[in-house]
Amino acid sequence: DTEVTQTPKHLVMGMTNKKSLKCEQHMGHRAMYWYKQKAKKPPELMFVYSYEKLSINESVPSRFSPECPNSSLLNLHLHALQPEDSALYLCASSLLVGSYEQYFGPGTRLTVT
Amino acid sequence: QKEVEQNSGPLSVPEGAIASLNCTYSDRGSQSFFWYRQYSGKSPELIMSIYSNGDKEDGRFTAQLNKASQYVSLLIRDSQPSDSATYLCAMTRLGNEKLTFGTGTRLTIIP
């Protein structure tokens, strides 16, 4: 089983709202990732967690705040977003960081109005 | 020069034929290579991984890696309309936690 789940599937939020995206995996993976994908572009890495600790932040604006409460869960807290933040947000996991296969969740389609 | 280059397509292939997707890369330290399939509006799905030179077959899919020439390719035999998607080439290098993607090739299988 290589399933990564994400909720919600769709989210519409105003620029003053606070919302959270959730990601879960039960494969025993110890690396989890957040990506952002715009139309007709490849996924763009945002954050990497390894053993529940943040190991990479790709200079993401502070209005995006990641959290890894335990080895199975990954959250992305959103606050004061801009319309240009509208995109598909993808969570992925791999056994460990490095040259391991990454498995993506179905994504959350975010629209900022 | 981009780190990972793919022909953006669209690549049109008749049903039942072999589809050939190519990817070249500039970083000689690249170590592990992956092919993802992405249907429109969906998330990327891992279909092949390859780590050493040569061919790796899985069903109708064959990945080919040539580190000396710095290319990796994906062959799809007996192409089906359901294979129509964007194919993303991706890779990692030793000691780097990042997956570097190409821009993707859009493949259309013509019935």
pLDDT (mean) for A3-7: 97
Mean pLDDT of B64-77: 97
> SS3 of B66, please?
strand
pLDDT (0 to 100) of residue B74: 98
Mean pLDDT of chain B: 95
Token output for B101: 């993607």
**Residue from B27, B32, B43, B86 to probe the interface with A (highest A Cβ count within 10 Å):** B43
Residue A98: pLDDT band (50, 70, 90) is: confident
Burial (CB < 10 A; 0-12, 13-18, 19+), residue A84, is: exposed
Q: How far is A18 from chain B (nearest CA, A)?
A: 24
CA dist B57 → A70, B37, B47, B98 (Å): 36, 16, 11, 25
Q: Which residue type, as a one-letter code, is found at position B91?
A: M
**Segment holding A45, helix H or strand E:** strand A44-50
CA angle B95, B98, B103 (to 5 degrees): 135
pLDDT of residue B9: 86
Q: What is the pLDDT of residue B2?
A: 72
Name the minimum distance, in Å, from the CA of B69 to any CA of chain A: 20
Q: What percent of chain A has pLDDT over 90?
A: 95
Question: DSSP string covering A4-24, please?
Answer: EEEE-SEEEE-TT-EEEEEEE
Judge whether residue B1 has pLDDT over 70. no
CA-based nearest distance A80→chain B, Å:
25
- Residue-level pLDDT at B97: 76
Give the nearest chain A residue to B101 (CA atoms).
A42
B10-54: per-residue pLDDT in tens?
Answer: 999 999 999 999 999 999 889 999 999 999 999 999 999 999 999
| CB–CB contact B101 A107 (8 Å) | no
Per-residue pLDDT band at B82 (split at 50, 70, 90)? very high
Residues A69, A61: contact at Cβ < 8 Å?
no
Which of A56, A88, A101 comes nearest B34 by C-beta? Answer: A101
- Cβ contact A88–B43 (<8 Å): yes
Residue A1 pLDDT greater than 70, yes or no: no
pLDDT for residue A22: 98
3-state SS, residue B82: helix
Mean pLDDT of B63-67: 97
- Flag whether residue A101 sits within 8 Å of chain B, measured between CB atoms: yes
**Core vs surface per residue B64-76: b (16+ CB within 10 A) or e:** bbeeeeebbbbbb
Given this model, what pLDDT does residue A75 score?
98
**Closest-approach residue (CA) in chain B for A42:** B103
- Is the CB of residue A97 less than 8 Å away from at least one CB of chain B? yes
Sign of CA dihedral A90, A32, B28, A60: positive
Query: What is the tens place of the pLDDT at every residue in A32-85?
Result: 999 999 999 999 999 999 999 999 999 999 999 999 999 999 999 999 999 999
- Shortest CB distance from A101 goes to which of B46, B95, B96? B46
% of chain A exceeding 70 in pLDDT: 98
- Taking the C-alpha atoms of residue A101 and residue B81, their distance in angstroms, rounded to an integer, is 26
Q: How many CB pairs lie under 8 A apart between chains A and B?
A: 51
Judge whether residue A2 has pLDDT over 80. no
Q: Is A106 on the interface with B (CB under 8 A)?
A: yes
